[in-house]
Amino acid sequence: MMIKCADVSNPLRPLNLCKEWAYRIAEEYCQQTDEEKSRGLPVVMAQFDRKTLNIPKCQLAFINLFITTMFDAWDVYCDIPELMHHLQLNYDFWKEQEELKDKEQSPSVGMDNS
């Protein structure tokens, strides 16, 4: 369990490191998607298409699906309050980024289109 937690611990690092690794991992997965497309292979992770990539959304999904439950359990065993604090701060950061992205992409309410 410790090795698995270490492998996926990026969301529990300080924000600057969390962001850096989120972008690096996204780039790696985008390269995989590019390669799959160029070879006519099925695209394994469609969310990592450069044209539609939403890193905040990917990070939130990763945290919600895998990280929170795993590290809640690990925290009971190892007592890692500082890491859990980083997790909450990072989650809040990605949530805010996702909300900003949504605002940018949604049409303004009350605009006169005539």
Q: Is residue 6 one of the residues assigned to a domain?
A: no
The number of folded domains in the chain is: 1
d(CA 6, CA 13): 11
Q: What is the pLDDT of residue 113?
A: 52
Give pTM, 2 decimals: 0.86
Asked whether residue 71 is domain-assigned, the answer is: yes
pLDDT value of position 78:
94
> Can you give the pLDDT at residue 107?
73
Count other C-beta atoms under 10 Å from residue 11's C-beta. 24
pLDDT in tens, 22-64: 999 999 999 999 999 999 999 999 999 999 999 999 999 999 9
> Would residue 5 count as lying in a domain?
no
User: pLDDT for 2-14, tens place per residue?
Assistant: 999 999 999 999 9
pLDDT at 112 over 90: no
CA-CA distance, 32 to 48, in Å (whole number)? Answer: 9
Percent of the chain, pLDDT > 90? 87
Domain of residue 52: give its range. 12-104
Task: Give yes or no for a contact between 86 and 14, defined as CB atoms under 8 angstroms apart.
Answer: yes
pLDDT band at 104 (very low <50, low <70, confident <90, very high): confident
Torsional sign, CA 108, 23, 73, 89: negative
User: Could you tell me if 92 and 86 are in contact, meaning their C-beta atoms sit under 8 angstroms apart?
Assistant: no
